[in-house]
Amino acid sequence: MSGAAFLRIKKLKGGGIITAAARHNRREIQAEMGAVGSIDPARSRLNETLCGPAAAADVSQLAKDLMTTAGVGKLRKDAVQGLEVVFSLPPNHAVDDRAYFTACADWAAGAFGGHQNVLSVDIHRDEAQPHCHILLLPLVDGRMAGSDLIGGKQKLAELQKDFHAKVAGPYGFTKAPAKLLGTTKQAAAKAVLQKLRETSDSVLQSAAWSAIREAIERDPAPYLLALGIELPTVKKPARTMEQIFTSKGKGPARETAIPIRFTPQEKEQTLCSVGFAEKTPLPASSFPPGPPPPDTHTHALKGDALESVRVRDRELDPTHFDPDTGEFFTPPPPPARLQKQAANEWVRQALTKQTPRPLSNFTH
């Protein structure tokens, strides 16, 4: 059977909220009995009270008496004054609703503090689908514990699971479906809309129909349950060979970033067994009077740092002064022919063990 055995739990807050809820459950609000409401007054005689005082005011007084006996003082404005649990059946059910709702009331009493906390149990058969309202006082160990009894999402899921195992399941109801996705969700929304059109449901003529339709398409699961529609099974289409080979597989679609590290380059080594000695800088006396060569008169390397060398004006060649700019200039290097001749002469003197003249002397 369809899993339309709804279970909804509500916190009741605010002054007089117990009285207001009891008046609705006992059909004492005349404004709700008009033609524009969801209640059919002609069928209200089919309603039934399983537990609690006959009048709504007496239900509220019962809650106050129980709190006084337990020593509960004045509650805060935002405190939970009571709990309301609503159980529903699909329109075309085939179970004894009185027996079913009695079992629901017993389960609610056990789940929310005991039978002494049950204020009223009312069965309504004058609306679209039969349902049952149960008002409870969240009184546990002499204190009001409404929020603790309901808890968060995990506690609510556990309550739903326990209710299905102990009540809905034995009566033949299937578990409510989880949130629908993909093609299953589309098929469910289509089934709901088709059912509403086939039965000429009055909701189709409602001014809020466009919003209702959007809600159905967004989450059709509650409407499946309300209309007693079995969840349509959608066969997943087989994948093509191209889809199989290009699939990224299961798991998150993400790439692992591999850090890139650069290994310091080793010093270049020669394959020659003789090797070469490191180059040594030429002595300062090798340079002629006047400004030093371009790469040596302003900076010198010291270790790994660049060290500045200060040059005094009196150490510069006055022939290299430009009166237009007011600065000393570096003369252009000698032609390559003269440099080659100077280098050859220097090598010849070195090989004959003569003291070679400074290399710079050959360039002038």
Asked whether the CA dihedral 220, 224, 229, 235 is positive or negative, the reply is positive
Alpha carbon distance 175, 3 (integer Å):
5
What's the average model confidence in pLDDT over 281-305? 49
The tens digit of pLDDT for each residue in 180-212 reads 788 888 888 898 899 899 888 888 888 888 899
Alpha carbon distance 139, 113 (integer Å):
7
Question: What is the DSSP code string of 75-134?
Answer: PPTTSEEEEEEEEE--TT--S-HHHHHHHHHHHHHHHTT-GGGEEEEEEE-SSSS-EEEE
Least confident of 18-22, 33-37, 95-99: 33-37
Q: What are the structural domains, with CATH classification, of the chain?
A: 7-176 (3.30.930.30), 179-233 (no CATH), 293-363 (no CATH)
Element (H, E) at 6: none
The tens digit of pLDDT for each residue in 231-263 reads 655 566 667 777 777 776 665 555 555 555 555
The tens digit of pLDDT for each residue in 333-362 reads 666 777 788 888 888 887 876 555 565 555
The pLDDT value recorded for residue 302 is 46
- Answer yes or no: are the C-beta atoms of 287 and 293 closer than 8 Å: yes
Confidence of residue 132 (pLDDT cuts 50, 70, 90): very high
Percent residues over pLDDT 90 in the chain: 24
Alpha carbon distance 121, 194 (integer Å):
35
Confidence of residue 289 (pLDDT cuts 50, 70, 90): low
Maximum mean pLDDT: which of 1-5, 114-118, 307-311: 114-118
What's the average model confidence in pLDDT over 289-303? 48
What's the average model confidence in pLDDT over 264-281? 51
Residue 239, amino acid = R
The pLDDT value recorded for residue 99 is 95
Alpha carbon distance 211, 302 (integer Å):
81
Residues contacting residue 65 through CB under 8 Å, at least 6 positions apart: none
Question: 339: which 2 tokens?
Answer: 């440099």
**For 317, phi and psi rounded to 5 degrees?**
-75, 120
For residue 160, give the 3-state DSSP assignment. helix
The pLDDT value recorded for residue 57 is 93
The pLDDT value recorded for residue 205 is 85
